Structure 1
Amino acid sequence: MEQIITPHWIDGAAVHTIAAGSIDPATSAVVGRFAAGGVPEAQACVAAARRAFEASDWPLAPRLRQRVMLDWAAALRPRVDALAELLTRENGKPLAASRGEVLGSISEIEYYAGLTRHIPGHVLEPEPGVLSTMTREPAGVAAVIVPWNAPGILLVRGLCPALAAGCTTVVKPAHQTALFNAALLDPLLRHPQIPPGVVNVFAETGHDGAKLLATHAEVDVICFTGSTAVGKEIMRAAADTMKKLSLELGGKSCAIVLPDADIDAVAQKLAAGVTIIAGQQCTAVRRVLAHADCFDAMKAALAKALDALAIGNGLDDGIAMGPLIDIPSRDRIAAQIAKACEQADEVVLRGTIPDRPGAFLTPTLVHHQDTHAFFMQEEIFGPFVSIERFEDEAEAVQRANHTTFGLSASVWTNDGAAGLRLARALRNGTVWINEHNKLFPEAETGGFRQSGIGRLHGYDALADFTELKHIYQAPGVVARG
């Protein structure tokens, strides 16, 4: 695939600049090359999006918006296998996971296409003959900054509600997965009915263009998925222009295991939750809280399940976990894990860097009871998990909620009432019962506290890309009697 060269897409046309290489994290081979830009390209994208919002029919034409998105989804279906392979080559995740992500992305596009023609307002009559009409209108130009860990789903869950609402857009993909995002977007960008400037795309190897989006007065919405630290930078940068923000940020997801759970079966699912995208997902399992009656069994079963995972090139059969995104990231995460192992009460399973090419790192499991430790509070974005003991439900909730994050959690039990009690008490935007990492286009996701602002997926995502307008009129009433 070394022949792949992807351009920027600005105002309905391909724009070429000096190209940078995209690297396979499993082999360090060059997958292809993408046009690398920065501030000039970002400025051109914003200007094109603003022109399209002000001058085209896109914000006013829900049937057109629906047709374009349905056609985009249909055009992607014959390309699922090729897109999945490209995603694995750029990102490293197992091929089955990549295929699932591509299919999930298509499903999400179809979901928002379905909503496009039903974005209702409402009318009140607060006084006789006085009508207050509330309309939900597109917010304007939306910038969608896409990370590399799930670049299909995390692109469409921001771009599609923006398009459904009638916004025009600027997409800034992560450079690590710029080729995949370009291939996923290609049928949309080249759709014969989409007005020029509705969707603009630029890539960069740095961050200058993305920073411009956060401060630009002509950008009305920023949709960002990434770390809490960067989310805070975006909030500060966006303050002067008072942009709408849709931010899904870091997490420190807990899994609470009650003693009636099937420990061996739960261990298998938690191991998958720990190592999803090599632990590089904000909803990955970071902490396991096991009741004292099952703590020893849970610790042993989880260590066994993690140790048994097949780790290797995501294109190979039977691989459960691929490499991290690149070698510098792998080395940084390995250093954090080593520091955590020095401070933990017990190192149950120590991860290693395998003697092979690529950005591989095996999983680590530690036992620690002090929730104040840095590795119990900070998100370590790799295959690392801690396990701790609790005595009762109140202690489990206290431990789980001792965090600045609040993105997701899970509860594992055969007692339905206990599962619901704990789910209600946890301060998280999503709580799964007897599952982890189950996400759907129809179900809103987002974080409490420092895990974010707003919601993506589901109907409520439209709120992040619309403004509510009150129109007053007083036509009066026909004389009575």
Structure 2
Amino acid sequence: MINEGQFNLSSPFRGTGGLAGGKLQSYVTGHWISGEGDGQLLFDAVTGEPIASASTKGLDFDSVLAYGRSVGNPALRKLSFHERGRMLKALALHLMAKKEKFYQVSYHTGATKADSWIDIEGGIGNLFSNASLRRKFPDLPYCTDGEPIGLSKGGTFMGHHIMVPKEGVAIHINAYNFPVWGMLEKCAVNWLAGMPAVVKPATITSYLAEVVVKEIIASGILPEGALQLVCGSAGDLLDHVTGQDVITFTGSKSTGLILKGHKRIMEESVPFNMEADSLNCIVLGEDAIPGKPEWDIFIKEVRKEITVKAGQKCTAIRRIFVPEHLLEDACVALSKSLAQTIIGNPLNESVRMGALAGKGQRDEVKEHIQKLLAASQIAYGSLDSVEVIDADPQKGAFLSPILLLNETPFSTESVHEVECFGPVSTIMPYKNLDEAILLAKKGKGSLCCTMVTANDQLATQFVVGAATHHGRILVLNEECAKESTGHGSPLPMLVHGGPGRAGGGEEMGGVRGVKHYMQRVAIQGSPTSITAITRSYQPKAKTTEEEKHPFRKYFEELEIGDSLLTHKRTVTEADIVNFANISWDHFYAHTDHTSLQGTPFEKPVAHGYFILSAAAGLFVDARKGPVLLNYGLEECRFMKPVYAGSTIGVRLTVKEKLPQDTKDESDIPKGIVKWLVEITDETGEYVALATILTMVKRKV
């Protein structure tokens, strides 16, 4: 066992919310447990001192997964999307209040305050974003997927798709570079979907994940079993997975392929999402010459991607492609910019680049640089020395930013295959845009790519040409640079992943990401049965008609299928003329008898929006009641011309209900009701279909 005497108790982190030394604990089966034996020593990236140890020896991983499935899964599955979303929001607020504690521990990883902001507040931001995503889902534990499908001529047989939470556990095997963001960006999605998680952070920075999980568990916000943490080796964890589990992996492609090929994973057909480190690139457009705003934007973006997190980002720029006549200018400008980077102890506010996560990582980066130097040369930086402030470069895992130059990118394969996971990037020339596209694709699949240009024609050509080999492409120029989140920032509402070398997976992505943790099922039956299952009214399903007008009912009183069949109204020529004068819509089809030849119309046709307005006049209850306001129009289609003399009637049916949260004590409790509006003429045929939304009071 490692005792407290082995740790430097005078560390600048002590007494400021930092680590206390000793052995990390895993949170499994509802308990904090320390593994047996000495475990793996973990070191401060800045000072090189041991700060903790981690061991999972003695943990029963079969029981860990069984606990998640039997305790955490049912607890989350019974909650609706809206309840899960509110849970995420509460957790995000709680963690944001504790963030300073996390910052103090994060300094151990070599991260600056700005680096830690990406990891800590970026991770918490994912919770907030996914909490808001609940509004895209029904107030149910499951949801529909896509549109309903008619399967019969008479409309009595139909199909749909629903998605239900899987009955297993989401197992997240994360990389060392973002121990908070990597955990929360994944967990936010599986929790919203209704699945529990077992998080296995990379051991060397797992002490930061442990601190965050301690706060999560202490908050009591999540149901028991919704989150388990493994600090140390994964042991035989994957030997116990089932087809109801989902595995995500972030890290090197070589490790990912080993895990993906695990016998149990293949036998059980376990979904496996891999997000592998890739050779991402940036391309300087031919129009972005020195003196142009895009030139400065390009230099700034490359410097940032080399130095932020000391280059330890799966999205960092590894390859830089510039027009060949700008190669020398770009090398000089980037070297000058990198030379301004202050390196050292991240506790010093002037420091802009800290240490790598550990000496092992630094040694690996140097080894990979040596491979690249067989065909490249150093344009800036040094492998052997680095100037640092408030730190010892020998004790800490420091490395100078390195800019490599390769003038033969088409005849050098190593520059498109060897990734240095640190502050290293290689600049290369291209002759024309077609060459730039080919070079970008030589990475054989990347997470992200940036094109810096003010020429949208060039941007279009590049994006369409390079899209097959990238998960995300940023077009960066003066117009968006100020508000752009940058090359290396995955966003919760967009997919994060990439083809080929990047792993072939997708994470986040808004609604798309949530559905990775759910099972899609095709359902078939009558419209009435499908309505009952989906809790969304399907046309031709049975309805319920009562004497009480549905606009007299409170939100809680309304049921899916509640319906009103209105009286009828005959449309006149005066209606058409008057609506044209009121709306100032004098489109010829409504007002000009002489211009209808060669059109679908026999005579002037009623305005579609008049028909919708007339329908509202038929179904609205004019008295003050629970309906507060018209919230909007979601869908509307005009299906048949309505001429003067036609008689229209309306059926109004409750289609779906969505609760709304009260903003404060003065806010009116309410929800949104979606109504199907079916407008027919005297023949019984549809002339219009629409979905309108109203805001309706709750009783309490």
TM-score, normalized by length of structure 2?
Answer: 0.64
Matches of 1:271 and 1:383 in 2, distance apart? 9
**2:523 aligned residue (471, 476, 481):** 471
Matches of 1:406 and 1:338 in 2, distance apart? 23
Q: CA deviation at 1:293?
A: 2.8
Q: What is residue 398 of structure 2 aligned with on the other side? A: 360
Residue range with higher mean Cα deviation, 321-330 or 60-69: 60-69
Listed one character per residue, the Cα deviations across residues 278-301 of structure 1 (whole Å, up to 9, x for unaligned) are: 122111111111112322111111
What secondary structure does 1:190 align onto? helix
Query: For residues 304-323 of structure 1, what are the structure 2 equivalents within 5 Å?
Result: 304-323=336-355
Equivalent residue pairs, number: 473
After superposition, the Cα gap between the structure-2 partners of 1:320 and 1:430, relative to the gap in structure 1 and judged at 3 Å, is same
Does residue 442 (structure 1) correspond to residue 482 (structure 2)? The answer is no
Q: CA deviation at 1:375?
A: 3.1
Matches of 2:244 and 2:176 in 1, distance apart? 23
Contact 1:42–1:202 (Cα < 8 Å) also in 2: no
Contact 1:251–1:407 (Cα < 8 Å) also in 2: yes
What secondary structure does 1:97 align onto? helix
**2:144 aligned residue (109, 115, 121):** 121
Query: For residues 37-436 of structure 1, what are the structure 2 equivalents within 5 Å?
Result: 37-38=56-57, 40-52=59-71, 56-62=74-80, 63-89=82-108, 91-116=109-134, 118-119=136-137, 120-122=143-145, 123-127=148-152, 128-139=155-166, 140-192=168-220, 194-204=222-232, 206-209=233-236, 212-213=237-238, 216-217=241-242, 220-237=245-262, 238-261=265-288, 262=292, 263-344=295-376, 346-354=377-385, 355-368=393-406, 369-371=408-410, 372-426=412-466, 427-434=469-476, 435-436=486-487
After superposition, the Cα gap between the structure-2 partners of 1:472 and 1:215, relative to the gap in structure 1 and judged at 3 Å, is same
Instruction: Write the letter of the residue equivalent to 1:429.
Output: G
- Structure 2 unaligned regions, length at least 5: 1-17, 138-142, 386-392, 477-485, 529-539, 543-683, 685-700
Matches of 2:238 and 2:118 in 1, distance apart? 31
What secondary structure does 1:156 align onto? helix
Which of the two has greater helix per residue?
1
Matches of 1:11 and 1:208 in 2, distance apart? 16
Instruction: Write the letter of the residue equivalent to 1:361.
Output: L
After superposition, the Cα gap between the structure-2 partners of 1:143 and 1:414, relative to the gap in structure 1 and judged at 3 Å, is same
After superposition, the Cα gap between the structure-2 partners of 1:125 and 1:187, relative to the gap in structure 1 and judged at 3 Å, is farther
Instruction: Write the letter of the residue equivalent to 1:295.
Output: L
What secondary structure does 1:188 align onto? helix
**1:26 aligned residue (46, 59, 65):** 46
Instruction: Write the letter of the residue equivalent to 2:373.
Output: C
Q: CA deviation at 1:438?
A: 3.1
What secondary structure does 2:98 align onto? helix
Contact 2:405–2:428 (Cα < 8 Å) also in 1: yes
What secondary structure does 1:160 align onto? helix
**1:3 aligned residue (6, 20, 37):** 20
After superposition, the Cα gap between the structure-2 partners of 1:265 and 1:197, relative to the gap in structure 1 and judged at 3 Å, is closer
Q: CA deviation at 1:51?
A: 0.9
Instruction: Write the letter of the residue equivalent to 2:216.
Output: L
After superposition, the Cα gap between the structure-2 partners of 1:302 and 1:467, relative to the gap in structure 1 and judged at 3 Å, is same
TM-score, normalized by length of structure 1?
Answer: 0.91
Contact 1:259–1:291 (Cα < 8 Å) also in 2: yes
What secondary structure does 1:224 align onto? strand
Residue range with higher mean Cα deviation, 317-326 or 12-21: 12-21
After superposition, the Cα gap between the structure-2 partners of 1:292 and 1:11, relative to the gap in structure 1 and judged at 3 Å, is same
Contact 2:102–2:120 (Cα < 8 Å) also in 1: yes
Matches of 1:449 and 1:185 in 2, distance apart? 33
Q: What is residue 653 of structure 2 aligned with on the other side? A: none
Where relative contact order (Cα < 8 A, 6+ residues apart) is larger, the structure is 1
What secondary structure does 2:111 align onto? coil
- Structure 1 unaligned regions, length at least 5: none
Structure exhibiting the larger radius of gyration computed from Cα positions = 2
Q: CA deviation at 1:376?
A: 2.9
After superposition, the Cα gap between the structure-2 partners of 1:364 and 1:246, relative to the gap in structure 1 and judged at 3 Å, is same
After superposition, the Cα gap between the structure-2 partners of 1:394 and 1:35, relative to the gap in structure 1 and judged at 3 Å, is closer
Listed one character per residue, the Cα deviations across residues 236-274 of structure 1 (whole Å, up to 9, x for unaligned) are: 112111011221112101111124324344223201112
Identity %: 21
Matches of 1:226 and 1:215 in 2, distance apart? 22
What secondary structure does 1:295 align onto? helix
Q: CA deviation at 1:39?
A: 7.0
Matches of 1:66 and 1:403 in 2, distance apart? 38
Instruction: Write the letter of the residue equivalent to 1:3.
Output: A
What secondary structure does 1:157 align onto? helix
Q: CA deviation at 1:468?
A: 0.5
Matches of 1:410 and 1:264 in 2, distance apart? 15
Matches of 1:299 and 1:478 in 2, distance apart? 68
What secondary structure does 1:362 align onto? coil
Instruction: Write the letter of the residue equivalent to 2:98.
Output: R
Matches of 2:62 and 2:231 in 1, distance apart? 13
C-alpha RMSD of matched pairs (Å): 2.4
Contact 1:410–1:431 (Cα < 8 Å) also in 2: yes
Q: CA deviation at 1:475?
A: 6.5
Q: CA deviation at 1:373?
A: 2.8
What secondary structure does 1:437 align onto? coil
What secondary structure does 1:445 align onto? strand
Q: CA deviation at 1:44?
A: 2.6
Instruction: Write the letter of the residue equivalent to 2:120.
Output: V
Listed one character per residue, the Cα deviations across residues 43-96 of structure 1 (whole Å, up to 9, x for unaligned) are: 232111111256x3321212442333222111111222221221121x212112
Contact 1:39–1:208 (Cα < 8 Å) also in 2: no
Contact 2:24–2:231 (Cα < 8 Å) also in 1: no
Listed one character per residue, the Cα deviations across residues 103-134 of structure 1 (whole Å, up to 9, x for unaligned) are: 11111101212234644305333223113232
Q: What is residue 584 of structure 2 aligned with on the other side? A: none
Q: CA deviation at 1:338?
A: 2.4
